[in-house]
Structure 1
C-alpha cells in the first residue's frame, strides 16, 4: 500500500513547477531532463524525509537503484556518527525554517564507501504554505576535496620547508610591512625568536639612520611598483650588531591582482663583504708596493750610474775604491730588498714575471749554494752536494730558480743546529729533474707539512720567538715552482728528525742547434748616438756620463720638448725615455718621436721604476723596443746598446743585411 501511495505521489508534479495539468508535456519534459542528469543526485523527499523520486545521477553517485531506495529514509546516506547526533533531522528542520539549507560533509554509498558531498536541501510548499516535501541535490566533491587537500598539504609542506630553511631569513609581511611569518633561518641571522617579531614592522632590522631616511618604506614602494626589488646594505641584529645583507622583496598579489603583502628573503653576506674588502685592500696594497718600488728605484738609478762611472775610473784611490765598493754592495742589497718587497705584492696578485730560457739545474744548485754561504758559514754548517755528471736542463728563469734554492738553503740553515750538514741532491727521474734539500734540524709534525707553504705561516713561531722572518719564503718558493710547471713538497719523520724539501721540474726538450750568425747579421760595437730623456737630472746626467765613458755619443735632456727639437738633426740610434715626466710623459713622447721621419730606424727604450708584467705589456703595446727597470744594471748596458738583446722584429730596418751597425755616421 505504501509503495502504491508513493508511486501515486510521484505522478503529481512538484509544487512550484509550472504545468498545464498533470501529465502535461512541460511536466514530462522536466522530469525527463532531471532523470537524465548523471553528475548530480537530484531526488525528492517527503516531509518526514523519505525518498520519493530518484534520478540517474543519484543512482550513479550513491549506488542504489530506484526500487532499492524509494520509500527509505534519506538518513541511510549519512555516517553513523552523523545519524547519532541527529544531523539528518537538523538539516530538514533548517530547510523548513529558512527555505534552504546547504552543507558539505561525508556521505555513505550503498557499498559502505564514503565520499565528500555538497548537499542543498530546498523546502517545497504549496500555495497555502503547507510543507509538501523537499528537493535534495547532492554533488560528489571527492576530486575537488582531493585537490584542495593536496593543495593544503603542499602549502603546509612548503610552509614547513620555509620555516626549516637555515642560512636564509624568509618571512612574510602584510601590506603595511608588519611581519606575519618567520623561519628558523631568520632567527639564526637576526637573533630574534618568532614571538619577538610577529606583528612588528620590518624596519626594526634597519639601522637607525636608514629608518630615519625612510629606507624601509621606500623598499615597499619600489617592490609594489615593480613587483620585485633587490638591494644590499647593513642590517641590525637583536644584539645591535650589524651585518651586510642581500635582501629581496617581492610583492604578493591574489588572483584578482590585489596586493596581499610582501615576501622577504635575506642572506647574510658579511663574509663575502669581508673578502671583497680584503681583495680591495690587497689590490691597493699591490698598487702601493708598486708605487713604493718605483719611488725607491728612482733615487737608486743615479747612485748606481755614479758607481758605474767610478768603476771605470782607473785613478780612484784605495780609500775611495773601498767606499765605492761598499756603496755598490749596499745599493745591491737595497735593490734586493726593494725586489723582495715587491714580490709580496706579486704573490697576492699572481704577477711574478718569468724570463724563460734553457737552464741547467746543476748551475742553479751551485749558484744557490754560493748565495747562501753567508748564512751557512756563519753557523759553521757544511753543504754536501750530489750532482749528476750529465746536464739537468729545464726551461726556467735562472734568477728565480736560484732564489728558490737560496730560500730553501736559508730555511734549512736557520732551523738546523750549528755545525750540522745540509745535503743537496739532484737526480733525473723519468722526464723530471728532482732537487732534494735535506737538513738535520728540528723537523716538522705532519700537520705542518702543507701549512708551511701558506703565506705568513711559520712553524713554532710561539715556541721560538727568536726566529726572524715574515713567513713568505716558502710561499714564494711554491709559487715560483708552480709557475715553472713543477711541484714542491715537504716531508719529515717527525719533530727533531730533520726535514726534506723536494722540487720536481719538467725537463726541457732538447734544444735545436743554434745557427751561426752570418757576417751581415752580426752587429758591431761601433759608437752610437744616444739621447737620454729623464726629468730627473741626476739620473739623466749619470747615465749619459756612463755611456760617454763607454765610447758613445750621449746627450742628456730633461724635457720631451727639448729632445724632440734636437732629435731630427742628432738622429739618435737609441733613445732612453723615462715614462714618468711632467707635461709630456714617456708614452706621448714616444708617439711624437715616431712621427719624425729621420727616426724611422731608431730604437726606443722605456725606463721606469715599474717592472710588473702588465707594465711591460703596456710599453710593448705602445711601441717601445725594450723595457728597463730602474736602477739599470750597468753590466747590461753594453749588450743593450750594441743591440745584442733588443727584442726587435727581424724585419726591423736596422736588421737589414746592408746595415749591420744600426746607423752609420752620416
Structure 2
C-alpha cells in the first residue's frame, strides 16, 4: 500500500501531476511550487489515482468537498465516492476504462461524502502515461455543483409547474409557434377553443386558423412580421375552428428570443370572445332603441291617424246597423293597434328572443330555390333577373331550413330593393374544404367603406336621413347575422363604394353527416259638442290625415280647414286667422317648429293656440314641443278624448273674452 501523504511521494519527484505540467526536466523548486499550488486549492478536489484506481494524493479541495483527511483516504479505492446504484452497474471501472481508451473522461452525477451525504459532482478523469506511453495512473478533478444543481432543479420544477398550468388552462388557447409559424405546442384551452387534438395540429402552419380571405391578404405572415418587429402584436377578428365554424377571437402574439437575440419562435394566446362580442353588439344596439321606437311609432301612427279620424266621422253620422258594426270593428282594431304601439313605447327597450334551430342536413339548392321563388314577384315587378350559379354536386350544410331561407330571402329582397329597374342579381354557392359560401351580389347603390360593418347593427341604417324611399326599421340584416352566427357561420358585406353594387357573403360549416278585443266605444254625436264654433286649421303633409281630421272637426260644429304642407299652412293661417292650429311636426318642406315660429311672427296669430301633432310620443318629444312654445302635444292617432279637451280649452279661452284672442 502506498504511504499516506498529502502530496506526491518524495521518491517520485518527477511523477506527472494532474495538469501534466511536471516533467523530468522541471526543477525541484518548480515541482515544489506546483505541488503547493495544487495542495492549497479548495474549490476543486484534485488528486491522483494509481492504475488500479487507488488514491495517491489528496489536496485541500478534496478534503473540503469529500470530508476525508489525507491519512483517511490515501491508498483507498476511489469507488468509495460513488453511491450504491453506480457501484452496482460498475460505473467507477467504466470511467477508468473510458479515460484509458480516450485519454479523458468527463461525467456529472451523484457522489458520496465521508458522512454519507450526497453531492452533485462534475468529474474529469485524465489518463497519465510515462514517456514510453505506459499507463501510470489517473488525474482526477471533482467540483461540487450541488448548488447549481439545486437551482437548475428549482428552475426545472418551476418550468414544469408552469407547463402544467398552461396545459390545464381551458379558457385560453396558449401555444408556441416555431420561427416559421408552425405549431410547436398545444394546451387544453387550444383543444377546447379550436377543436384540434395535439397530434392533429402540431407541425401545421397556424394560418389554418384564418379565413381564406385573410390568408389571401397575407394576414398571418403580417402578424408574425409585426410581432418580430415590435415584440408583440394584438388583434381581434374572426378565426376558424377545426369544424369550419367561426368565432370572434382576441389574439396576442409575442416574439420569443434567446439570450443572444436569436428568434426562437412565437408565443400565441387566443381567447374566444364570441359571447362578449354578442353582448357588445346588443349594447350598441340599445343606443339605437330610442330612434327605433320613435320611428316605429311614427310609421305606425301615420296610417292609424286617418283611420281613427274616419271612424270619428262615421260615429257622427247615422248609418245602417251593418255599417255601424263594421265601423265599430274598425274602431276596435285601430284602438288595438294603437295600444300595441303604446305598449312597445312603454317597454323602453327591445329584448332579443331565444331562437331554437331545428337543424338537419340541408341541400343548399333547396334553400336557393325557395328563397328565389319568394322574391320573384318583387324582382318581376322591378324587371330584374336573378342569376343562380351552383356546383353540380349537392352542397350540404347542417342547419335550419326555414331560417336559412329567411336569411337568403332577406338578402335577395335587399338586393332587389336597392338595385335599379332592369338590373341583374346573382346568387352563387361555392363549396370549400370545410365551408359552404353563399354570395348575393347586385349592381345597386352600394355601401360606403365605413358602413360595411354598421349595416349589421340593430336598427341602424346608413341612409336613414338621406333617402327615405326604401327605409325600414333596420332589423333585416341584424336578424340575418344573428341567424348565421347561430349556425356557426359568419356574414360579411363588401362593396367598392356608393353606386358600385354590393356583395353579401354567408360562410357556413359543411354538414358533418349527409344528408280579445275591447268593447265598442259609444257613438259620438254632433249635438254632444257644446255651442260656440271655433276656427281650426289642420296642417299635415299626409293628406288623408289632414283631410279626415278637418272633416271630423267640421262635423263637430267648428269651421275647419286643412293644409297639406307647412308653407301652405302658414299662408292659410294668415288669411284664415284660426283660433287653434293642429300642426304635424315632421313635414318635408317646413317642419312644425318652423311653422310655429312663422305663426308667432305674424301679430294677429301671436295668441293662437297651437298643438303639435305627430307620431313621436316619447317624453323627450313632448318636452321639446312644450319648450318650443306649443300649447299641447298630441300623438297620432289623436284620441277623441284629448281632442275634446283641447277644443274645450279653446272654447273656455274664447268665452273668457281674452282681448288677444285672434279676430278674423
Aligned partners of 2:234 and 2:251 also within 8 Å: yes
Q: 1:565 to 1:6 in 2, by over 3 A?
A: same
Cα distance in structure 1, aligned partners of 2:223 and 2:572: 66
* Corresponding residue of 1:102: 106
* Corresponding residue of 1:465: none
Cα distance in structure 1, aligned partners of 2:267 and 2:128: 52
Cα distance in structure 1, aligned partners of 2:277 and 2:134: 82
Cα distance in structure 2, aligned partners of 1:121 and 1:204: 54
Structure 1 residue 244 corresponds to structure 2 residue 244: no
* Corresponding residue of 1:335: 335
Aligned partners of 2:6 and 2:70 also within 8 Å: no
Cα distance in structure 2, aligned partners of 1:98 and 1:225: 48
Residue 4 of structure 1: how far off its partner (Å) = 5.9
Residue 244 of structure 1: how far off its partner (Å) = 1.9
* Corresponding residue of 1:9: 9
**Counterpart mapping for 1:514-525 below 5 A:** none
Q: Compute the TM-score of the two structures, normalised by the length of structure 1.
A: 0.57
**Counterpart mapping for 1:434-473 below 5 A:** none
SS in 2 for 1:2: coil
**Which moves more between the two structures, 133-142 or 284-293?**
284-293
- Could you report, residue by residue, the CA deviation over 1:186-226 in whole angstroms, capped at 9, with x for unpaired residues? 44455543333332333344455554444444443344444
* Corresponding residue of 2:122: 118
**Which moves more between the two structures, 546-555 or 92-101?**
546-555
* Corresponding residue of 2:238: 233
Structure 1 residue 610 corresponds to structure 2 residue 613: no
- Could you report, residue by residue, the CA deviation over 1:28-55 in whole angstroms, capped at 9, with x for unpaired residues? 5x76766565444344445554444444
Aligned partners of 2:311 and 2:331 also within 8 Å: no
* Corresponding residue of 1:319: 319
Aligned partners of 1:286 and 1:346 also within 8 Å: no
Cα distance in structure 1, aligned partners of 2:574 and 2:142: 109
Q: 2:72 aligns with which of 68, 74, 94?
A: 68
Cα distance in structure 2, aligned partners of 1:126 and 1:568: 134
Q: 1:557 aligns with which of 536, 548, 563?
A: 563
Q: Compute the TM-score of the two structures, normalised by the length of structure 2.
A: 0.57
Q: 1:109 to 1:6 in 2, by over 3 A?
A: closer
Cα distance in structure 2, aligned partners of 1:603 and 1:97: 120
Cα distance in structure 2, aligned partners of 1:663 and 1:56: 123
Cα distance in structure 1, aligned partners of 2:601 and 2:60: 103
Cα distance in structure 2, aligned partners of 1:571 and 1:120: 119
Cα distance in structure 2, aligned partners of 1:23 and 1:553: 141
* Corresponding residue of 2:95: 91
- Could you report, residue by residue, the CA deviation over 1:364-422 in whole angstroms, capped at 9, with x for unpaired residues? xxxxxxxxxxxxxxxxxxxxxxxxxxxxxxxxxxxxxxxxxxxxxxxxxxxxxxxxxxx
Cα distance in structure 1, aligned partners of 2:58 and 2:659: 118
Aligned partners of 1:223 and 1:249 also within 8 Å: no
Aligned partners of 1:302 and 1:543 also within 8 Å: yes
Aligned residues: 472
Residue 276 of structure 1: how far off its partner (Å) = 7.2
Cα distance in structure 2, aligned partners of 1:150 and 1:614: 68
Q: 1:103 to 1:270 in 2, by over 3 A?
A: same
- Could you report, residue by residue, the CA deviation over 1:266-289 in whole angstroms, capped at 9, with x for unpaired residues? 455566667778889999999778
SS in 2 for 1:250: strand
- Could you report, residue by residue, the CA deviation over 1:433-467 in whole angstroms, capped at 9, with x for unpaired residues? xxxxxxxxxxxxxxxxxxxxxxxxxxxxxxxxxxx
Cα distance in structure 1, aligned partners of 2:185 and 2:197: 11
Residue 79 of structure 1: how far off its partner (Å) = 1.9
Q: 1:639 aligns with which of 626, 635, 645?
A: 645
Aligned partners of 2:579 and 2:662 also within 8 Å: no
Residue 7 of structure 1: how far off its partner (Å) = 4.4
SS in 2 for 1:75: helix
**Counterpart mapping for 1:501-580 below 5 A:** 532-544=538-550, 556-563=562-569, 575-580=581-586
SS in 2 for 1:628: strand
**Counterpart mapping for 1:583-662 below 5 A:** 583-586=589-592, 605-613=611-619, 616=622, 626-640=632-646
Where do 5+ consecutive residues of structure 1 fail to align?
352-524, 645-653
- Could you report, residue by residue, the CA deviation over 1:546-588 in whole angstroms, capped at 9, with x for unpaired residues? 5567787866433333455677898877654323211344456
Q: 1:638 to 1:340 in 2, by over 3 A?
A: closer
Q: 2:264 aligns with which of 245, 260, 269?
A: 260
**Counterpart mapping for 1:36-435 below 5 A:** 38-46=42-50, 48-95=52-99, 98=102, 100-122=104-126, 134-166=138-170, 168-226=172-230, 227-238=232-243, 241-256=244-259, 257-267=261-271, 291=295, 293-308=297-312, 316=317, 318-319=318-319, 323=323, 327=327, 330-340=330-340, 343=343, 347=347, 349=349
Q: 1:585 to 1:325 in 2, by over 3 A?
A: farther
Q: 1:108 to 1:526 in 2, by over 3 A?
A: farther
Residue 299 of structure 1: how far off its partner (Å) = 2.8
Aligned partners of 2:577 and 2:662 also within 8 Å: no
